Structure 1
Amino acid sequence: MDGETAMFSISVADDGRPLFDTLVLSNCAWALGRTVTVGPQAKDWLEGVSRFQSTFDQQTRKQLGILPDDPAKGTFAEREEEVGRPIAAADLFALASWLTAALGLQAVVSPQTVIRAQSYQLAKRKSHEADDADFLNSFFADDLDRVAEALKAGDSGAALRDYLTTDESEKRIPRTDIRKSLDEVFETLSPDRFPAGRWPGDGHHPLVYSQQFAVNSIWKSLAPKGGLFGVNGPPGTGKTTMLRDIVSAVVVARAKALAKLSSPAEGFGGRAGWKNGKWNRSIAIPAATLTGFEIVAASSNNGAVENITMEIPGTGAVDKSWLDQVDYFPRFGKQAIQQPAWGLLAAKLGNKTNRGEFLSNFWHGEELPFEASIPPENDIKVKKTGFESWLKAVAATPVDWSAAVKEFERAQTHEKAERSKLGQVYRRIKALRSERAEITRIDRESVSLMDILPSYGQRHQVALSVAATQTTQTEGHRSSLTRHHANRPGLWQILRSLGRTYRDWRAMEQGLKKVVAESEDRIRRAQNEVHATKQEELEARRLLQALAQERKDREATVKRLSTEIQEDRDSLGESFPDDEAWARDEVARELSAPWATKAWNEARAKLFLAALDLHKAFITANADTVRKNLHGLADILDGGAPQTAPREATLAAWQTLFLVVPVVSSTFASFSRFFSHLRRENLGWLLIDEAGQAVPQAAAGAIWRSRRVVVVGDPLQLRSVTRCGQALDSRRGRDSALSCTRHS
Structure 2
Amino acid sequence: MESDDSQTAMFAFTLDSEGYLVEDSAALSACAWAISRLQDPGPEAPGWLERFRSEEESFITALNRLVPPKPDRLGSAGNGRAATAGNTVLGQVKGAAIDAVSTGAKAAGDAVEVTTRAALTTVAGPIIGGIAGAAAGTFVEKLLTPPPSKSESKPEAAATARDQQKPEQPSSGPPRMTPQLVHAFVTRLGQAFGVTELLKIDGVRVKCVQIHKRAADEASEQNFLNSFITDDLLRIEDAVRGGDVGAGIDSYLADKVSSPVGNRVDVRAFPGEVVARVAPNRIPGGRWPTSIDRPLVTSQQFAVNEIMGEFGSASGVFAVNGPPGTGKTTMLRDVLAAIVVDRAQRIVDLRLAHPTDAFTETTDRVAVRPKYTATVRWLRPELTGSEIVVATAGNKAAANITAEIPGIGAVRGAEEAACDADYFTELASNVLGADAWGLIAAKLGKRSNRTAFVKHFWWGDPAGRDNEPDREQPEPIKGMREILDDAAAQPLTADIWAEAVRRFKEVRAEVDRLTVERQQAAEAIARITQRCAELTGLRAAADAARAETARLTADLSAAQARLADAEEGVNRATIECDEHAKRQPNFWVCLSTVFRAGREWHKKADKLGRALDNAKGVAHRLRSAIGRHKAAVDRVSTVQRRHEVALDDATREIAALESQLAQARAQWPERLPYRPDFATEDEFQLCAPWADAVYTDARNRLFLEALRLHKTFILGAEPRLRDNLDVAMAVLREGLRLPAATLRTAWQSFFLVVPVVSTTFASLPRLFRGLGREAFGWLFIDEADQATPQQALGGIWRARRSVIVGDPQQLEPIVSLPLSAQHALRRNNQVNEHWTPENTSAQRIADRSARFGTSLPEPDGNDRVWVGAPLRVHRRCDRLMFGISNDIAYGGDLMIYGTPDNGNYPGRNAWIDVRGSSNDNWVPEEGKALSYLMEELKRDGVAPEEIRVISPFRDAVRGAEEVARHRLGWSFAKGNVGTVHTVQGQESNVIILVLGSAPRKIRAREWAAETPNLLNVAVSRAKRRLYVIGNRTLWQHQRYFDTLAARLPVRAWPADGLADEALPTG
- Larger relative contact order (C-alpha < 8 A, sep ≥ 6)? 1
- Identify the residue that residue 446 of structure 1 maps to in structure 2: 542
The SS at the match of 1:607 is: helix
The SS at the match of 1:169 is: coil
Give the superposition deviation at 1:383: 8.3
Say which of 352, 361, 382 aligns to 2:447. Answer: 352
- Identify the residue that residue 314 of structure 1 maps to in structure 2: 407
Would you say the 8 A contact 1:132–1:673 is kept in 2? no
- Identify the residue that residue 658 of structure 1 maps to in structure 2: 751
Q: How does 1:431-470 map to 2 (within 5 A)?
A: 431-453=527-549, 456=552
Q: Is the aligned partner of 1:98 residue 2:134? A: yes
Aligned equivalents of 1:276 and 1:31: distance in 2?
A: 41
Would you say the 8 A contact 1:19–1:83 is kept in 2? no
Distance 1:221 1:104, change over 3 A: farther
Q: Is the aligned partner of 1:259 residue 2:352? A: no
Q: How does 1:412-431 map to 2 (within 5 A)?
A: 412-431=508-527
Give the superposition deviation at 1:434: 3.2
Would you say the 8 A contact 1:100–1:109 is kept in 2? no
- Identify the residue that residue 718 of structure 1 maps to in structure 2: 811
- Identify the residue that residue 272 of structure 1 maps to in structure 2: 364
Q: How does 1:74-89 map to 2 (within 5 A)?
A: 75-77=75-77
Aligned equivalents of 2:819 and 2:218: distance in 1?
A: 39
Give the superposition deviation at 1:303: 2.6
- Identify the residue that residue 632 of structure 1 maps to in structure 2: 727
Distance 1:144 1:324, change over 3 A: closer
Aligned equivalents of 1:573 and 1:725: distance in 2?
A: 57
Aligned equivalents of 1:438 and 1:621: distance in 2?
A: 58
Aligned equivalents of 2:736 and 2:431: distance in 1?
A: 22
- Identify the residue that residue 743 of structure 1 maps to in structure 2: 1007
Q: Is the aligned partner of 1:391 residue 2:484? A: yes
Q: Is the aligned partner of 1:5 residue 2:9? A: yes
- Identify the residue that residue 505 of structure 1 maps to in structure 2: none
Aligned equivalents of 1:82 and 1:416: distance in 2?
A: 55
Scaled by the length of structure 2, the TM-score of the pair is 0.56
Query: Aligned letter for 1:573?
Result: P
Distance 1:75 1:533, change over 3 A: farther
Q: Is the aligned partner of 1:335 residue 2:430? A: yes
Question: Which one has the bigger helix percentage?
Answer: 1
Gaps of 5+ in 2: 84-123, 139-188, 469-474, 571-617, 822-1000, 1009-1066
Say which of 224, 237, 240 aligns to 1:148. Answer: 237
The SS at the match of 1:589 is: helix
- Identify the residue that residue 518 of structure 1 maps to in structure 2: none
Using the TM superposition, name which of 186-195 and 663-672 deviates more: 663-672
Aligned equivalents of 1:595 and 1:346: distance in 2?
A: 29
The SS at the match of 1:537 is: helix
> Could you give the per-residue CA deviations for residues 334-378 of structure 1, whole angstroms, max 9, x where no partner exists?
011101011111111111221121112221123369xxxx99xxx
- Identify the residue that residue 541 of structure 1 maps to in structure 2: 637
The SS at the match of 1:696 is: coil
Say which of 272, 275, 279 aligns to 1:183. Answer: 272
Distance 1:132 1:587, change over 3 A: same
- Identify the residue that residue 178 of structure 2 maps to in structure 1: none
Say which of 635, 648, 665 aligns to 2:741. Answer: 648
Give the superposition deviation at 1:550: 2.8
The SS at the match of 2:522 is: helix
Would you say the 8 A contact 2:218–2:448 is kept in 1? no
- Identify the residue that residue 701 of structure 2 maps to in structure 1: 606
Would you say the 8 A contact 2:20–2:66 is kept in 1? no
Give the superposition deviation at 1:74: 6.3
Give the superposition deviation at 1:305: 1.8
- Identify the residue that residue 786 of structure 2 maps to in structure 1: 693
- Identify the residue that residue 663 of structure 2 maps to in structure 1: 567
The SS at the match of 1:650 is: helix
Give the superposition deviation at 1:26: 2.3
Give the superposition deviation at 1:95: 7.5
Give the superposition deviation at 1:457: 5.6
Using the TM superposition, name which of 187-196 and 172-181 deviates more: 172-181
Query: Aligned letter for 2:482?
Result: S
Aligned equivalents of 1:106 and 1:530: distance in 2?
A: 115
Say which of 323, 329, 332 aligns to 1:240. Answer: 329
> Could you give the per-residue CA deviations for residues 401-440 of structure 1, whole angstroms, max 9, x where no partner exists?
1111111100100100111110111122223233333433
Distance 1:238 1:4, change over 3 A: closer
Aligned equivalents of 2:512 and 2:247: distance in 1?
A: 31
> Could you give the per-residue CA deviations for residues 245-274 of structure 1, whole angstroms, max 9, x where no partner exists?
111101000101111231312222222354
Aligned equivalents of 1:106 and 1:458: distance in 2?
A: 111
Query: Aligned letter for 2:132?
Result: A
Aligned equivalents of 1:201 and 1:305: distance in 2?
A: 22
- Identify the residue that residue 460 of structure 2 maps to in structure 1: 365
The SS at the match of 2:299 is: helix
Scaled by the length of structure 1, the TM-score of the pair is 0.78
Q: How does 1:222-237 map to 2 (within 5 A)?
A: 222-237=311-326
Q: Is the aligned partner of 1:28 residue 2:39? A: no
Say which of 536, 552, 560 aligns to 2:648. Answer: 552
Give the superposition deviation at 1:697: 2.0
Distance 1:53 1:723, change over 3 A: closer
Aligned equivalents of 2:436 and 2:723: distance in 1?
A: 26
Would you say the 8 A contact 2:267–2:273 is kept in 1? yes
> Could you give the per-residue CA deviations for residues 475-494 of structure 1, whole angstroms, max 9, x where no partner exists?
xxxxxxxxxxxxxxxxxxxx
Would you say the 8 A contact 1:17–1:83 is kept in 2? no
Q: Is the aligned partner of 1:289 residue 2:289? A: no
The SS at the match of 1:701 is: helix
Aligned equivalents of 1:351 and 1:71: distance in 2?
A: 27
Give the superposition deviation at 1:123: 6.9
Aligned equivalents of 2:779 and 2:70: distance in 1?
A: 48
> Could you give the per-residue CA deviations for residues 592-612 of structure 1, whole angstroms, max 9, x where no partner exists?
112111111011111000100
Would you say the 8 A contact 1:314–1:342 is kept in 2? yes
The SS at the match of 1:552 is: helix
Would you say the 8 A contact 2:292–2:697 is kept in 1? no
Aligned equivalents of 1:559 and 1:53: distance in 2?
A: 77
- Identify the residue that residue 301 of structure 1 maps to in structure 2: 394
Q: Is the aligned partner of 1:678 residue 2:771? A: yes
Q: Percent identity?
A: 34
- Identify the residue that residue 250 of structure 1 maps to in structure 2: 339
Would you say the 8 A contact 1:350–1:670 is kept in 2? yes
The SS at the match of 1:697 is: coil
Would you say the 8 A contact 1:332–1:344 is kept in 2? yes
Aligned equivalents of 2:221 and 2:400: distance in 1?
A: 25
- Identify the residue that residue 950 of structure 2 maps to in structure 1: none
Would you say the 8 A contact 1:159–1:704 is kept in 2? yes
Give the superposition deviation at 1:118: 6.8
Q: Root-mean-square deviation (CA), in Å? A: 4.6
Aligned equivalents of 1:37 and 1:738: distance in 2?
A: 40
Aligned equivalents of 1:552 and 1:70: distance in 2?
A: 93
Aligned equivalents of 1:72 and 1:360: distance in 2?
A: 23
- Identify the residue that residue 706 of structure 1 maps to in structure 2: 799
Using the TM superposition, name which of 351-360 and 147-156 deviates more: 147-156
Give the superposition deviation at 1:184: 0.9
Give the superposition deviation at 1:619: 0.3
Query: Aligned letter for 1:544?
Result: Q
Aligned equivalents of 1:210 and 1:599: distance in 2?
A: 21
Aligned equivalents of 1:40 and 1:703: distance in 2?
A: 36
- Identify the residue that residue 486 of structure 1 maps to in structure 2: none
